[in-house]
């Protein structure tokens, strides 16, 4: 038997340990790994009794993601037709033991940013081929829900639920993402201040663990796995089904944007809105720095009723803050929506002449980024590298953050939108794997999502020559360094780290320990989601 090191250690550490103590084994492992990779593995996978199938060629799609910076080919892609296909495959890899080096990554819609859904020389599970299963809507009139396959796109769930006059409560800004993909992170948008993130709106999950066991879990049953998987970055199991809470679907949406020149006023109004009993249904915000063509370049399909007036606002050389709000209404029943909106707006201190309003259907509003996607695609500007940086900033430090970054480190927002909006921590369950910023003991209940969402242009065009991938990555580094130096207690959302020290710091000692414990319980060989680079299965020779 070949002795293996414990699977729970970083890539770096394992290589060091390995080269120090096991030089002889190394040669042995190389030959085992090579032969497994090039002959034994494909035939052993093909011997599994599946409803779906494996592909060993034309798997380039599985080496790509939205970030478009990391590209690792898998050895095989599983196209499952049933949950048992995933279970059989993982059980098979589990039984091969630690030395095969073989890993398994679920791939939702592949909208990760740094290869998180990839499995270098491993197996990628194409979750979207599971979506043939029917969605089942249950409406008891009190707390309706829908059971969906985890490879389902949120946009499809929305359309299905709308047939019954229902809809999920909490969203992301973009709906062409899978349920499994967003629940592995959090799923945050302008509804989260009220409903919490998407991981706070799930009642039950079906999960295949790293041992190939199929487990149904919820608050009541296998609660530790349930909480672990939510925000768990795919580390403890592959989600195969999810039960999602629904509400009566809104019909129409008043969609509002107002501008501020002062950050303090802007966030004071945001916090006022998310703390009020009667308020808007969605609250987000954008930072606009030194940008020409303000309205036209906004990422989504917002068409203000008075485009003339809107186009007059430019932010050349300035920093502006745009508060984005919506109010849902039913044109057949609600007669005083406008009055209610007027009342809510009267409590705010935006620049008076900057009220832009439009009216769209609920679907048009939720699917707004897709409209922008279609425009960008038509210009060949969708498949660019996306060096995105998502940060969670504690409320106490948001002013220092803004002062140091908006208009200073960040000198323009020509390369993509920058979002800033607050959420209330009380809507986040601290038993999940998700990490919120700020000490829980401090009792600080608000934190901010700040999202830098640029696209890199090939020749560094766009923002005056600053839009190259290298420049944007440098900018991200400077932003992170500033947070570090100023000790702002910022956490990354959709985190990306290269060392285990950074992961430990991200989680903090107590949560790191809990993470390691869950890993040993549900995926002891570290087979799952290797692209997160938290744990290393065995020695990567190649
Ligand atoms: C245009 C755009 C807009 C976005 N807007 C928002 C937003 O408003 N709010 C927000 O919160 N996020 C947003 N995101 C981020 C998005 O939520 C994540 O990137 C998410 O992971 C993408 O889902 P996916 O289905 O493409 O996942 P993938 O990229 O396929 O997978 C992501 C990770 O989850 C794992 N995984 C996938 N499926 C499963 C499963 N079934 N079980 C277990 N693990 C699984 C993968 O292995 C991988 O590690 C946005 C992304 C894009 C590209
Ligand atoms: C956050 O939510 C909790 C619980 O609903 C509430 O008590 C608290 O006042 C909220 N905080 C803010 C700042 O709105
Ligand atoms: C604004 O951008 C222009 C070029 O687009 C640049 O010359 C100028 O320095 C920028 N101003 C600030 C305040 O960053
Ligand atoms: C979660 O929060 C509660 C209070 O809201 C606290 O008592 C508990 O210790 C926290 N749990 C963890 C694991 O942080
Ligand atoms: C480009 O970046 C440099 C340094 O990062 C900065 O000084 C300059 O203002 C930027 N140019 C624009 C147009 O933003």
More confident residue, 293 or 529: 529
End position of a domain, from candidates 201, 217, 248: 248
CB distance 160 to ligand 3 below 6 Å: no
CB distance 276 to ligand 2 below 6 Å: no
DSSP states of 426-443:
GGS-TTSSPPPSS-TTTT
Say yes or no to pLDDT of 5 above 50: no
Shared domain check, 332 and 235:
no
Instruction: Give the pLDDT band (50/70/90) at residue 2.
Output: very low
The domain spanning residue 465 has which CATH number?
3.40.462.10
Shared domain check, 302 and 229:
no
More confident residue, 521 or 317: 521
Centre of ligand 1 to C-alpha 171, Å, is 12
Centre of ligand 4 to C-alpha 216, Å, is 25
Task: With respect to residue 361, please indicate whether it lies within any of the assigned structural domains.
Answer: yes
Centre of ligand 4 to C-alpha 432, Å, is 11
Tokens representing residue 469 in the block: 């991938």
For residues 365 and 326, the answer to whether their CB atoms sit within 8 Å is yes
DSSP 150: T
Instruction: Give the pLDDT band (50/70/90) at residue 139.
Output: very high
End position of a domain, from candidates 188, 214, 248: 248
Say yes or no to pLDDT of 10 above 50: no
Enumerate residues 6+ apart whose C-beta is below 8 A from 356: 256, 257, 258, 295, 302, 304, 305, 306, 309, 310
Centre of ligand 5 to C-alpha 454, Å, is 15
Say yes or no to pLDDT of 110 above 60: yes
Interatomic CA distance for residues 274 and 282, integer angstroms: 9
Instruction: Give the pLDDT band (50/70/90) at residue 227.
Output: very high
Say yes or no to pLDDT of 489 above 50: yes
Pocket test for ligand 4, best of 227, 424, 440 (most atoms within 8 A of CB): 440
Nearest residue (CA) to ligand 1, atom 51: 111
Mean pLDDT of 380-396: 96
Report the predicted TM-score, pTM, of the whole model to 2 decimal places: 0.91
CB distance 440 to ligand 4 below 6 Å: yes
Which of the residues are catalytic? 111, 173, 284
Pocket test for ligand 1, best of 108, 154, 190 (most atoms within 8 A of CB): 108
Interatomic CA distance for residues 542 and 528, integer angstroms: 19
Centre of ligand 5 to C-alpha 399, Å, is 23
3-state secondary structure 88-148: HHHHHHHHHCHHHCCCEEEECCCCCCCCCCCCCCCEEEEHHHHCCCCCEEECCCCCCEEEE
Residue 75 belongs to what domain range?
A: 41-129+525-532
Say which range, 8-12, 106-110, 120-124, 367-371, has the weakest mean pLDDT.
8-12
Ligand 5 binding pocket (C-beta < 6 A) is 411-412, 463-464, 466
User: Cα angle at 185 between 180 and 188, to 5 degrees?
Assistant: 105
Say which range, 22-26, 131-135, 464-468, has the weakest mean pLDDT.
22-26
More confident residue, 40 or 379: 379
| 3-state percent helix, strand, coil for the chain, nearest multiple of 5 | 35, 20, 45
Shared domain check, 160 and 137:
yes
Please give the number of the atom of ligand 1 that sits closest to the Cα of 107.
Answer: 30
Centre of ligand 5 to C-alpha 323, Å, is 26
Task: With respect to residue 34, please indicate whether it lies within any of the assigned structural domains.
Answer: no
Task: With respect to residue 503, please indicate whether it lies within any of the assigned structural domains.
Answer: no
CB distance 442 to ligand 4 below 6 Å: no
Instruction: Give the pLDDT band (50/70/90) at residue 42.
Output: confident
Phi, psi for residue 280 in degrees, rounded to 5: -75, 170
Centre of ligand 3 to C-alpha 288, Å, is 13
CB distance 411 to ligand 3 below 6 Å: yes
Say which range, 180-189, 287-296, 322-331, has the weakest mean pLDDT.
287-296
For residues 397 and 479, the answer to whether their CB atoms sit within 8 Å is no
Please give the number of the atom of ligand 2 that sits closest to the Cα of 275.
Answer: 14
Shared domain check, 187 and 49:
no
Shared domain check, 145 and 213:
yes
For 383-398, give one letter per residue: b (16+ CB within 10 A) or e.
ebbbbbbbbbbbbebb
Interatomic CA distance for residues 189 and 464, integer angstroms: 31
User: What is the per-residue pLDDT for 19?
Assistant: 39
Shared domain check, 208 and 192:
yes
Nearest residue (CA) to ligand 3, atom 8: 317
Instruction: Give the pLDDT band (50/70/90) at residue 296.
Output: very low
Say yes or no to pLDDT of 460 above 80: no
CB distance 277 to ligand 2 below 6 Å: no
Ligand 1 binding pocket (C-beta < 6 A) is 65-66, 105-112, 116-117, 127, 150, 172-174, 177-178, 180-182, 184-189, 233-234, 238-239, 369, 494, 529, 531-532
Say yes or no to pLDDT of 84 above 80: yes
Task: With respect to residue 204, please indicate whether it lies within any of the assigned structural domains.
Answer: yes
For residue 395, give the ligand nearest its CA: 2
Interatomic CA distance for residues 238 and 126, integer angstroms: 11
Centre of ligand 3 to C-alpha 295, Å, is 18
Shared domain check, 363 and 287:
yes
Task: With respect to residue 7, please indicate whether it lies within any of the assigned structural domains.
Answer: no
End position of a domain, from candidates 201, 231, 248: 248
Interatomic CA distance for residues 416 and 299, integer angstroms: 8
Shared domain check, 292 and 421:
yes
Nearest residue (CA) to ligand 5, atom 3: 466
For residue 193, give the ligand nearest its CA: 2
Please give the number of the atom of ligand 1 that sits closest to the Cα of 529.
Answer: 47
Centre of ligand 1 to C-alpha 212, Å, is 23
DSSP 250: P
Shared domain check, 143 and 87:
no
For residue 125, give the ligand nearest its CA: 1
3-class SS at 512?
helix
- Among candidate residues 86, 90, 94, 93, the one with its CA nearest the CA of residue 51: 86
Task: With respect to residue 507, please indicate whether it lies within any of the assigned structural domains.
Answer: no
Shared domain check, 407 and 378:
yes
The domain spanning residue 217 has which CATH number?
3.30.465.10
Shared domain check, 198 and 332:
no
Task: With respect to residue 122, please indicate whether it lies within any of the assigned structural domains.
Answer: yes
pLDDT, the chain, mean: 89
For residue 426, give the ligand nearest its CA: 2
CB distance 445 to ligand 2 below 6 Å: yes
Centre of ligand 5 to C-alpha 401, Å, is 19
Number of structural domains found in the chain: 3
Shared domain check, 120 and 186:
no
The domain spanning residue 113 has which CATH number?
3.30.43.10
Say yes or no to pLDDT of 204 above 60: yes
- The tens digit of pLDDT for each residue in 325-366 reads 999 999 999 889 999 999 999 999 999 989 999 999 999 999
Nearest residue (CA) to ligand 2, atom 6: 426
Task: With respect to residue 22, please indicate whether it lies within any of the assigned structural domains.
Answer: no
Nearest residue (CA) to ligand 2, atom 4: 426
Say yes or no to pLDDT of 309 above 80: no
- The tens digit of pLDDT for each residue in 66-78 reads 999 999 999 999 9
């Amino acid at each position: 038997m070949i002795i293996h090191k414990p699977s729970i250690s970083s890539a770096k550490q394992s290589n060091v340990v390995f080269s120090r103590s096991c030089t002889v084994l190394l040669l042995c492992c190389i030959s085992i790994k090579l032969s497994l990779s090039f002959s034994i593995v494909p035939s052993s996978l093909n011997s599994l009794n599946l409803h779906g199938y494996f592909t060993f060629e034309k798997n380039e799609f599985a080496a790509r993601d939205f970030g478009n910076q990391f590209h690792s080919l898998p050895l095989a892609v599983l196209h499952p037709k049933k949950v048992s296909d995933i279970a059989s495959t993982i059980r098979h890899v589990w039984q091969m033991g630690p030395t095969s080096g073989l890993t398994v990554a679920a791939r939702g819609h592949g909208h990760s940013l740094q290869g998180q859904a990839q499995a270098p020389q491993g197996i990628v599970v194409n979750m979207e081929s599971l979506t043939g299963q029917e969605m089942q809507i249950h409406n008891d009139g009190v707390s309706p829900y829908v059971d969906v396959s985890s490879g389902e796109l949120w946009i499809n769930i929305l359309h299905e639920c709308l047939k019954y006059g229902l809809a999920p409560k909490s969203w992301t800004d973009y709906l062409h993402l899978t349920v499994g993909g967003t629940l592995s992170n959090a799923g945050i948008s302008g509804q989260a201040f009220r409903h919490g993130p998407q991981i706070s709106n799930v009642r039950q999950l079906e999960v295949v663990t790293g041992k190939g066991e199929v487990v149904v879990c919820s608050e009541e049953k296998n609660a530790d796995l349930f909480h672990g998987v939510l925000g768990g970055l795919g580390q403890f199991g592959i989600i195969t089904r999810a039960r999602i809470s629904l509400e009566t679907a809104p019909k129409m949406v008043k969609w509002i944007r107002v501008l501020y020149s002062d950050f303090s006023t802007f966030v004071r109004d945001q916090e006022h809105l998310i703390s009020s009993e009667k308020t808007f249904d969605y609250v987000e915000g954008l930072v606009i720095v030194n940008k020409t063509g303000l309205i036209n370049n906004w990422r989504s399909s917002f068409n203000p009723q008075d485009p003339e007036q809107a186009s007059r606002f430019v932010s050349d050389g300035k920093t502006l803050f745009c508060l984005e709000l919506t109010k849902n209404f039913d044109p057949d029943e609600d007669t005083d929506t406008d009055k209610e909106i007027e009342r809510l707006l009267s409590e705010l201190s935006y620049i008076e002449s900057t009220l832009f309003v439009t009216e769209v259907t609920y679907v048009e509003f939720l699917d707004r980024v897709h409209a922008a996607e279609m425009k960008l695609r038509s210009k060949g500007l969708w498949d660019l590298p996306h060096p995105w940086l998502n940060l969670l900033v504690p409320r106490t430090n948001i002013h220092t953050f803004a002062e140091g970054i908006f208009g200073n480190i960040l000198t323009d927002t020509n390369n993509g939108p920058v979002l800033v909006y607050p959420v209330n921590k009380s809507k986040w369950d601290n038993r999940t794997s998700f990490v919120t910023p700020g000490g829980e003991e401090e009792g600080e209940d608000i934190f901010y999502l700040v999202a830098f969402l640029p696209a890199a242009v090939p020749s560094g065009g766009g923002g005056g020559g600053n839009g190259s991938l290298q420049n944007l990555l440098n900018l991200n580094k400077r932003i992170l360094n500033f947070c570090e130096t100023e000790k702002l207690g910022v956490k990354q959302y959709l985190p990306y780290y290269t060392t285990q020290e950074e992961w430990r710091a991200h989680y903090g000692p107590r949560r790191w320990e809990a993470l390691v414990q869950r890993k040993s319980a549900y995926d002891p060989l570290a087979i799952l989601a290797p692209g997160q680079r938290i744990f290393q299965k065995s020695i990567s020779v190649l």
